Structure 1
């Protein structure tokens, strides 16, 4: 206060003017700062309360930055998972394309006529490709067919010679003076009928050998079976039966007087034994189911030559073959299961048994036969070791082999002409080049999985590599979230179960491709599941981010409510205070003028 004495009116107006000036200064300060509480002196309670609210808002604001980085980290991981999902889907597409591709290489083979009983032949074998080891399929089968074999060892045809028989000692005459005598002499030729050459000799009569020969010849000529085919003659009492031509067979002597003319075949006395020559036309002749077979001393020289000659005469399309029936015998057997019955006829059919009705019938038994093309197709496709590895089919009578693999397949069993006969010749069938190329594509896509996982990082954190992301939601640290892959494992091709390196042979069969598709589907499900988990985590972080932003706004609004000035109110107050100040100044001026009226009295 001034030491100057002021009048009451002046003092009152001065005090009023000073108060208005203070209020104007405070209002102007509020307008300048925007706060109605600028320090604890203004309002300690509001000041400290607002400070607490602002401090918490500031702490939460700092957490918002961490949340924003967390959101970006999750988005980076989601970008990686999205790209990995597309890559896995591309891998699925590659495998499906491989499964649908059927451009397998094939080769068709002529089926040769093979000897089903040749121990050196009999199989077609497969190796390489997707076939494990070497798998053989028999070209022959067992079945029921007819066969026959010689009853005795084979003998080659001799040179042409007439059949004959003559006694070991001569006969001069037949004379029976006591009574009438009948000569009991019989003969048969080969399997022909028995002919009785018996002639009567009257008592006291004598027949010379020439007369007896003529009488017997008359009987022969009267026989339908032997007329013109057999002659009987004598020379110096030595009788001789002989065929007219070179005919296979031999004479058999019988009757009680056979010994008188030709000796007893059973006699041990050499001089009494007959001299017999087996007749031969110089060939062996018989028929096999009506097919005439002839063996000469050359073509029937020995067992092997005879067998080869018989098979040549039967022809390449024959349903029967000659073979070594052991014991030096020739056998005839069916080599095709549709051969039907076997009948052997002709002059020498008796080589194979006693003819009935002119033929020898074969017997039914188990034999080996060459498989037809359709039977080979069925046998190959039914082989469990080949199923899914190769496929056989009938290509207009040829055996077509399809290599269901990406690797080369070796087929063994060809002859020199390239036909399948069970020989040692081989053929190579190339693998599926399309599936091989798709295997390379699969591997390239797989490599991208690991690269995508490595590149999906943000601010040094890569969730796909198993890094842990911790985001704190409140200022005390009591609310937070830890974000990490399941088990902390890296999301890469290996952990997803995708094959490390797909080999072309893994695409050989549809079954293996289906298994790979299952693995890729499982990997795709795992990636999608992790993406869903990260998506849920992202939703939580974004919700907390929104919540924290709202809390910061709430805290700041609360603090502002405690400290912020109402600018409209303060502006109005300032205007009112300015008016009051002017009025106070006018009032002070009036009061001063009242004091000046004393000066008028002093003048």
Structure 2
């Protein structure tokens, strides 16, 4: 056994030194191989546990970086959707501007068939469909002519008893009518004893003496009332002093009149007159425009829908109910309305597809990102409207409705839709700004966390890492020392070997 071996003091001393050097060499080699000067709590308890705490926190923060990175990608996915939605809205805006600039409204020119229209009765050109209303509906009538009108007699009846004429025993009143006496009033004098028949006689006598009176106006008193008649239809007017009229039985309350109608000859409207009538009709303003096309009536349909004309057919306006023709609608605006709807359908689809890892911010999902290892610092990323409420970015949020062709009939209607697109773009910019702000916060926090991890790791390394240059120098010195100690041990053992000389 080793304990039974007796070593000299010199050998033992050198052996202890060699063992000590070997231990130091082992420590140095361990430090060089691990790169750490503190590999366990036995090496330096304070540094070991402090470094372990710092490394643990750095590890926890490193785990948060993955969540932040995914959060950034989720926000970026939402931003991709918003970018595509913005581009689509701008395309829709361009489509509407193109529709507004297009003026390829269809026209139809008609000759005026004056013979077919005639003046026997009033005939109309009826316009329906287009922007006016349903085709075949009531539509709007434009008179094509004025019909012949026969004269309707005018009558004026004075009722009541003829009373006392007045202190002078006589009274007078005047009669006026168009075409009578050159426009001058005819004076009639009555006596107190005159009855209705006598009064009528005096009136007829006065009228007969006046120019134009005998053939145009007459009075009849056979019924006990004095009745005036104007066969030409011209109205009759009584004038004179109120007491005289009252005493004569023609007070305002005792007169019943029927206005006559003067005979007239009808006429067919000219093209220019029809143009004026159509363009001056409020119900057709902005819907139909008429013009004179070298003596023909040109009707322009300011709509994407077909315009129906009744009373016009075969290229002629004849006022016949059965005559019908059509002025086609604007096909360019109709096509653009379909393009608008196709683009609109993509708005919602972009929002549906803007998800990342199962989270879609454009559909109102809430993304919670923890920013520290204890969970006390976090950020919620969510799409919100201007009122701050969670919102899904779709057609409802953007208030962009489906468009039908007739919505593009008028420039004012297109301007209204352009205003909606402008508001939608404004809403998208607001959402983009909000997400951009949140993305900036997450990125700043990510950079901060990276810096913190680096700080913690450097602090941990400062407590545990070995200086390889120093340890390399130490190992070289220990190797040298070990060589010297081996030589020294050899010298110490030579003293014991001298005894062998005596034994030989």
C-alpha separation between the residues in 2 aligned to 1:463 and 1:546? 23
Q: 2:289 aligns to what SS in structure 1?
A: strand
C-alpha separation between the residues in 2 aligned to 1:601 and 1:410? 148
User: Under a length normalisation based on structure 1, what TM-score does the superposition of the two structures give?
Assistant: 0.59
How big is the alpha-carbon RMSD for the aligned residues of Structure 1 and Structure 2?
3.3
Q: C-alpha deviations, 1:560-586, integer Å up to 9, x for none?
A: 111111122211211111111111111
Structure 1 residue 125 displacement after superposition: 2.8
Residue among 572, 577, 583 paired with 2:484: 583
The answer to whether structure 1 residue 444 and structure 2 residue 342 are counterparts is yes
Q: Which residue of 1 aligns with 2:37?
A: 36
Matched-pair contact (CA < 8 Å) for 1:412–1:427: yes
Change (3 A) 1:13 1:111: same
Change (3 A) 1:586 1:409: same
Structure 1 residue 114 displacement after superposition: 8.0
Q: C-alpha deviations, 1:249-292, integer Å up to 9, x for none?
A: xxxxxxxxxxxxxxxxxxxxxxxxxxxxxxxxxxxxxxxxxxxx
Q: Which residue of 2 aligns with 1:80?
A: 81
Provide structure 1 residue ranges, at least 5 long, that are not aligned to the other structure.
152-325, 332-363
Structure 1 residue 116 displacement after superposition: 10
Q: 1:485 aligns to what SS in structure 2?
A: coil
Structure 1 residue 471 displacement after superposition: 1.0
Structure 1 residue 414 displacement after superposition: 3.4
Matched-pair contact (CA < 8 Å) for 1:415–1:421: no
Structure 1 residue 327 displacement after superposition: 8.7
The answer to whether structure 1 residue 128 and structure 2 residue 129 are counterparts is yes
Structure 1 residue 429 displacement after superposition: 0.9
User: Under a length normalisation based on structure 2, what TM-score does the superposition of the two structures give?
Assistant: 0.70
Change (3 A) 1:512 1:416: closer
Structure 1 residue 131 displacement after superposition: 0.8
Q: Which residue of 1 aligns with 2:412?
A: 511
Q: 2:442 aligns to what SS in structure 1?
A: helix
Write out aligned runs for 1:132-151 (5 A): 132=133, 134-139=139-144
Structure 1 residue 5 displacement after superposition: 4.6
Change (3 A) 1:601 1:506: same
Q: Which residue of 2 aligns with 1:546?
A: 447
Q: Which residue of 2 aligns with 1:252?
A: none
C-alpha separation between the residues in 2 aligned to 1:483 and 1:366? 83
Structure 1 residue 524 displacement after superposition: 2.0
Structure 1 residue 148 displacement after superposition: 12
Change (3 A) 1:482 1:117: same
Q: C-alpha deviations, 1:412-445, integer Å up to 9, x for none?
A: 3338882255866332111111111111111111
Structure 1 residue 6 displacement after superposition: 3.8
The answer to whether structure 1 residue 401 and structure 2 residue 299 are counterparts is yes
The answer to whether structure 1 residue 502 and structure 2 residue 403 are counterparts is yes
The answer to whether structure 1 residue 488 and structure 2 residue 489 are counterparts is no
Q: 1:25 aligns to what SS in structure 2?
A: helix
Write out aligned runs for 1:379-528 (5 A): 379-414=277-312, 418-419=316-317, 425-486=323-384, 487-499=389-401, 501-528=402-429
C-alpha separation between the residues in 1 aligned to 2:17 and 2:365? 72
Give 1 or 2 for the bigger CA radius of gyration: 1
Change (3 A) 1:6 1:453: same
C-alpha separation between the residues in 1 aligned to 2:69 and 2:365? 18
Q: Which residue of 1 aligns with 2:194?
A: none
Residue among 418, 430, 446 paired with 1:529: 430
Q: 1:75 aligns to what SS in structure 2?
A: helix
Moved more, 454-463 or 421-430: 421-430
Structure 1 residue 593 displacement after superposition: 1.7
Change (3 A) 1:41 1:454: same
Matched-pair contact (CA < 8 Å) for 1:415–1:423: no
Q: Which residue of 1 aligns with 2:67?
A: 66
Matched-pair contact (CA < 8 Å) for 2:310–2:319: no
Structure 1 residue 124 displacement after superposition: 2.9
Q: 2:139 aligns to what SS in structure 1?
A: strand
C-alpha separation between the residues in 1 aligned to 2:369 and 2:359? 13
State the aligned residue count. 392
Q: 1:399 aligns to what SS in structure 2?
A: strand
The answer to whether structure 1 residue 597 and structure 2 residue 498 are counterparts is yes
C-alpha separation between the residues in 2 aligned to 1:462 and 1:421? 64
Structure 1 residue 365 displacement after superposition: 12
Matched-pair contact (CA < 8 Å) for 2:308–2:325: yes
Matched-pair contact (CA < 8 Å) for 1:470–1:480: yes
C-alpha separation between the residues in 2 aligned to 1:68 and 1:374? 76
C-alpha separation between the residues in 2 aligned to 1:526 and 1:422? 56
C-alpha separation between the residues in 2 aligned to 1:67 and 1:56? 17
Structure 1 residue 49 displacement after superposition: 0.9
C-alpha separation between the residues in 1 aligned to 2:363 and 2:313? 62
Matched-pair contact (CA < 8 Å) for 1:111–1:419: yes
Q: 2:451 aligns to what SS in structure 1?
A: helix
C-alpha separation between the residues in 1 aligned to 2:116 and 2:233? 16
Q: 1:32 aligns to what SS in structure 2?
A: helix
Greater helix percent: which structure? 2
Q: 1:527 aligns to what SS in structure 2?
A: helix
Q: C-alpha deviations, 1:79-124, integer Å up to 9, x for none?
A: 1111111111111111111111111111112234489995842543
Q: 1:587 aligns to what SS in structure 2?
A: helix
C-alpha separation between the residues in 2 aligned to 1:553 and 1:478? 21
Q: 2:298 aligns to what SS in structure 1?
A: strand
C-alpha separation between the residues in 1 aligned to 2:70 and 2:315? 78
Matched-pair contact (CA < 8 Å) for 1:408–1:428: yes
Structure 1 residue 595 displacement after superposition: 3.7
C-alpha separation between the residues in 1 aligned to 2:265 and 2:24? 133
Structure 1 residue 525 displacement after superposition: 2.0
Change (3 A) 1:116 1:366: farther
Matched-pair contact (CA < 8 Å) for 2:303–2:409: yes
